[in-house]
Structure 1
Amino acid sequence: MTPFEIPAWDDNAEPQGVRLQKVMAAAGVASRRVSEQLIQAGRVEVNGQIVTELGRRIDPENDLVSVDGVAVQLDPAKRYVMLNKPLGIVSSLADQYGRPDLRRYTEQYEERLFNVGRLDAETTGLLILTNDGDLAHVLAHPSFGVLKTYIAKVEGRVSPQTISKLTHGIELEDGPIAADKARLLDVESETSLVELTLHSGRNRIVRRMLDAVGHPVTELVRRSFGPLNLGTLKAGGMRDLTKVEVGQLLTLSRDATDVPAAEPEATDETEDIEE
């Protein structure tokens, strides 16, 4: 072909991408027929734009899809697991001191999973294991403000005034800190149960806050992480996140990365270590 010849149009050329309804069905959103109905009803977005035409093709590796405002995970290789970390387990995949670590849980999966943030050996509760590095970054980094809720058993009788002090702010050696939420769950003769919700990633922050107001922690459990709740999962138990839970996490992640992240708080570690 000379430089002046126009190439003939290839009528048999394959169109680029995959039909949206096929991608949705493969992702487990709904059957292809129901996915078509969702598209026609204007309930599906691709890269933030509502799509209503059934012929729309997308690139599953790069395009972002959501249904009713909830993100859809299109990559079948990604895995998300909830672990109720028991007492005495170190949040590491290779503890240098030979202590019991997370490998006993991650080795049960074909994917190479890692933990999102950490809980110290004496803290139990909700820990996420995944192979999704982008999501893990948003969930673990304090600048994105993902809320976590803890229940602490502490020494002494906690007063309403102390709860107010926790939410209004206290001064620690590494700067001021305030819980996003705090409430008193129970008071006995010598102990109390306190629920704290916060987004800080500072080292052992829950324990240090309660110690600072005169109520050292004797037991600590993380009950929620962003939209996830531990529920009735037993200590040492694991389960894959549901599609709804994964969608909630991905939505949170996409919303967080749509706005500039705040300056990170001063931390003792580079990872989230809320204990």
Structure 2
Amino acid sequence: MTDNPTDSTPAPEGVRLQKVLAAAGVASRRVVEQYIVEGRIRVNGEVVEELGRRIDPETDLVDVDGTAIQLDVSKRYVMLNKPTGVVSTMKDENGRPDLRRFTEDWEERLYNVGRLDAETSGLLILTNDGELAHVLAHPSFGVTKVYIAKVEGAVTAQTIAKLTKGFDLDDGPIKADKARLLDVSKVGAESSLVELTLHSGRNRIVRRMMAAVGHPVVELVRRQFGPLHLGTLPAGKTRELSKIERGALLTLARHDSPADATPGDAQETE
């Protein structure tokens, strides 16, 4: 008989779901247990039924009420209102202003999700979540984007109808998901403001569409990317996404990610 007998029972694998979600800021462990009882939590798409459920935070996907939960706290998600004159790369070979200046305040090494043309301003996501970045920027994913374009000339209702009905460009047919003419009185009689919603990731697509209907773009800003809205974030400023925004973005990526998305395929740009 040994003086210090040891327990040969192997330790349970994984971490209790309540502990993981409490650490993720979802709710207290007691409240999470109530969520489980109410059938509001899923792990890898299956509703959790037992209070003792353990998971692997590095590989398991958890959602509460259908909204994805960020379990890896090392991942950072930042919104940038990219100003004009800045190229969407972390190091420009030609010495032009790039995105590095906007990532200096973050400890993590952040990268941009997709690109915006140098002369296009607006919402750009910076993250160290490579998998999410590749999925959202993949051409076949087709995340919805909303742009406000100041264009030359007085845009008519017929032109708006053409944008939504569709037409051919050199690289194939294109149409806007939505298009509407905004108040033109603020920009003068010789120009118009048009809001375009589309999911195409083709290069400089808004500029090419507007030029094709006879109204070249003068200024262009992206106001929305998927569930994210630029809001009142000033040009050249960044902010971390809120918990709700992170959940919405992760939910979008998990539900609709293309099976053939690979790191080298990220082409989305404007």
Task: Give the TM-score, by structure 2 length.
Answer: 0.92
Alignment counterpart, residue 268 of structure 2, candidates 266, 269, 272:
272
Confirm whether residue 130 of structure 1 aligns to residue 127 of structure 2: yes
Amino acid in the other structure paired with 2:231: G
1:110 match: 107
The Cα RMSD (Å) is 1.7
Q: Distance in 1 between matches of 2:267 and 2:74?
A: 24
1:82 match: 79
Segments of 4+ in structure 1 off by > 6 A? none
Cα deviations by residue, 1:64-92 (Å, 9 ceiling, x for unpaired): 10000000011011000000001111111
2:201 match: 201
Q: Distance in 2 between matches of 1:261 and 1:206?
A: 26
CA gap 1:270/1:129 in 2 versus in 1, 3 angstroms: closer
Offset at 1:270?
Answer: 5.2
Offset at 1:261?
Answer: 6.1
Sequence identity (%): 71
CA gap 1:270/1:31 in 2 versus in 1, 3 angstroms: closer
Q: Distance in 1 between matches of 2:110 and 2:172?
A: 34
Cα deviations by residue, 1:137-182 (Å, 9 ceiling, x for unpaired): 1211121121000000001100011011011112111121111111
Offset at 1:228?
Answer: 0.2
| 8 Å CA contact retained: 1:82, 1:126 | yes
| 8 Å CA contact retained: 2:123, 2:222 | yes
Cα deviations by residue, 1:194-253 (Å, 9 ceiling, x for unpaired): 001111111111001001100011010000000000001011111100111111111111
Q: Distance in 1 between matches of 2:135 and 2:165?
A: 26
2:190 match: 190
Cα deviations by residue, 1:74-128 (Å, 9 ceiling, x for unpaired): 1011000000001111111111111111000112211110000111111100000
Superposed counterparts of 1:163-178, under 5 Å: 163-178=160-175
Amino acid in the other structure paired with 1:186: D
Q: Distance in 1 between matches of 2:43 and 2:64?
A: 9
| 8 Å CA contact retained: 1:144, 1:261 | no
Amino acid in the other structure paired with 2:178: K
| 8 Å CA contact retained: 2:91, 2:100 | yes
Amino acid in the other structure paired with 1:234: P
Q: Distance in 2 between matches of 1:60 and 1:13?
A: 20
SS at match of 1:115: strand
1:92 match: 89
SS at match of 2:98: coil
Confirm whether residue 228 of structure 1 aligns to residue 225 of structure 2: no
SS at match of 1:246: helix
Offset at 1:34?
Answer: 1.4
Superposed counterparts of 1:126-165, under 5 Å: 126-165=123-162
Amino acid in the other structure paired with 2:237: G
2:3 match: none
Amino acid in the other structure paired with 1:130: T
Query: Structure 2: which 5+ residue stretches go unaligned?
Result: 1-5
Offset at 1:13?
Answer: 2.6
| 8 Å CA contact retained: 2:134, 2:266 | no
1:68 match: 65
Q: Distance in 2 between matches of 1:174 and 1:271?
A: 15
Q: Distance in 2 between matches of 1:52 and 1:37?
A: 11
**Number of equivalent positions:** 259
Offset at 1:17?
Answer: 0.6
Query: Structure 1: which 5+ residue stretches go unaligned?
Result: 1-8, 263-268
Q: Distance in 2 between matches of 1:261 and 1:37?
A: 38
Task: Give the TM-score, by structure 1 length.
Answer: 0.90
